[in-house]
Structure formats: structure tokens, C-alpha cells
Amino acid sequence: MRSELVFGAMTQVPNRLLLVKLASKATRILHRPNSRIQETMNDVFERFSHANPAPCVPDAETVQLLHRAA
């Protein structure tokens, strides 16, 4: 299932938003015409679970939250 692939990828990229950004870019780059986008996404998450796609992933302590203006 894709959820297992996502959790496997989160071992390499603990920041969920960064994971989504990297996965969307990689999916666009790796997708081939006449193939299902779902299969490409599964392949991306499988690759992410084996290697860190972003070696400079910021620590949770250094990430600043942006608050919405009222």
C-alpha cells in the first residue's frame, strides 16, 4: 500500500511538507507517458525509503512556524 511506502520514506525525510514537495518534483521528472501516475509515485516513495533525497533536511528544532494573520 502507498501508506507503507510513505512511512518508509518518512524515515529519510522526517518533515512531511518537504517530503510532499520532493515527491511531487520527482514524480514530474520520472513520469513516463502512457504509464499510470500512481505507479510513478509508488516508485518515487520506494526510492525515497532507500536513500535520502535531500541530504540537508532541516531539524525540527530549526524549522520556524509561520502564523496566519488574523
Q: pLDDT tens across 25-49, in order?
A: 999 999 999 999 999 999 999 988 8
Structure-model confidence comparison of residues 55 and 12, the more confident one: 12
Q: What is the pLDDT of residue 9?
A: 87
Q: What percent of the chain has pLDDT over 90?
A: 26
pTM of the model: 0.68
SS3 assignment for 32-51: CCCCCHHHHHHHHHHHHHHC
Q: Among all chains, which residue has been given the C-alpha cell 515527491?
A: 23
Instruction: Give me 6's grid cell.
Output: 510513505
pLDDT at 68: 52
